[in-house]
Structure 1
Amino acid sequence: MTFRAANDTDRPALIALLTQANLLTDDLPDELSTFLLAYEGDTLVGAAGLDLVDEFGLLRSVAVAPDHRGQYLGHTLVEGVQQAALAHNFTDIYLLTTTATAFFEQLGYEVIDREAVPEAIAQTRQYRELCPDSAIVMYQKMV
């Protein structure tokens, strides 16, 4: 298994993995370097991304191929993205989820009220348009 930052050539495989996981692809950034990818050989088997929004991080697009689940790959990817956030002095990380609350709670994220997010996060396309109002908002302060 190899881990590396995404680049433009990874876009088709990333879109396929996210689509398979029923995650958003409409708002993928043009530049993918804030995404950490896991490859097994030439096959993309996991991904996690971070949108940098003002001084906040918005964790997104955490996906693991079905045949690689249960091996803590998702944990490893999220922890890698969190370390990258810290390296850029981003300590407040938010996320929206409709299905993975328990997974993110294992990683130390807490459910918060939608109204508690900073305005910069509330203005993201993911928050305003793409995720349903029923999506759970979670937060973690990285120290």
Structure 2
Amino acid sequence: MLIFRRAKVEDFEKIKQIIKDCGLCDCDLERWLNNFMVAEEDGNVIGTGGIENYGEYGILCSVAVLPDFRNHGIGDGLVRSLINLADRMGIKTLFLFTDKAVNFFERVGFRKTNRSEIQENCPESKQLSSCPLSFIPMRLNINEFFENIKCK
């Protein structure tokens, strides 16, 4: 059975391994572990993602699903769980950087933006300073996300 839940301290090593295996930066995992979610199937953590929290602004980070579990909606479920978490945390705008998943994030509702907007609102972000300039910055207005959500 697949569940999405908040990460626990005992998930730390598995989260680190998934992030490493998927070739992503860990976005200061030790600092933000309390803001991470995991996808768990039959007791095994198979995906993860987190949020750097800067008040009304946040950065979605390290969204990763193990290769054997991709293309089954798990990444989508993780991102939507993280958007819900961001909303509960009072975040109004969520940013991210991606190099390969622009289309995926656009389907969720993210739109391309520029680094200067992220720099202005999240200047302490490790991701901002370490993400290659070739990565595309994106943003999501959380209120608009919930206004536009379509349930089937």
TM-score normalized by the length of structure 2? 0.86
Please give the alpha-carbon distance, in whole angstroms, between the structure 2 residues aligned to 1:3 and 1:136: 27
Please give the alpha-carbon distance, in whole angstroms, between the structure 2 residues aligned to 1:24 and 1:65: 15
Q: Any conservation in 2 of the 1:8–1:31 contact (CA below 8 Å)?
A: no
CA shift, 1:18, in A, is 0.7
Superposed CA RMSD in Å reads 1.5
Please give the alpha-carbon distance, in whole angstroms, between the structure 1 residues aligned to 2:5 and 2:30: 17
What is aligned with 1:59? 60
What is aligned with 2:150? none
Q: Which runs of 5+ in 1 are unaligned?
A: none
Please give the alpha-carbon distance, in whole angstroms, between the structure 2 residues aligned to 1:84 and 1:52: 11
- CA displacement 1:45-70 (0-9 Å, x = unmatched): 11111110132111011001111111
What is aligned with 1:138? 138
What is aligned with 1:34? 35
What is aligned with 2:82? 81
CA shift, 1:118, in A, is 4.9
With over 3 angstroms needed to count, the CA separation of the structure-2 counterparts of 1:91 and 1:2, relative to structure 1, is same
Q: Give the residue type in structure 1 aligned to 2:121.
A: A
Q: Give the residue type in structure 2 aligned to 1:79.
A: R
Please give the alpha-carbon distance, in whole angstroms, between the structure 1 residues aligned to 2:141 and 2:36: 20
Q: Does 112-121 or 102-111 show the bigger shift?
A: 112-121
Matches within 5 A, 1:1-143: 1-25=2-26, 27-128=28-129, 130-143=130-143
Q: Any conservation in 1 of the 2:27–2:126 contact (CA below 8 Å)?
A: no
- CA displacement 1:55-100 (0-9 Å, x = unmatched): 2111011001111111111111110110111112211000011221
Stretches of 4+ aligned residues off by more than 3 angstroms: none
Identity of aligned residues (%): 30
How many positions carry a matched residue from both structures? 142
Q: Secondary structure at the match of 1:47?
A: strand
TM-score normalized by the length of structure 1? 0.91
With over 3 angstroms needed to count, the CA separation of the structure-2 counterparts of 1:121 and 1:78, relative to structure 1, is same
Please give the alpha-carbon distance, in whole angstroms, between the structure 2 residues aligned to 1:141 and 1:26: 21
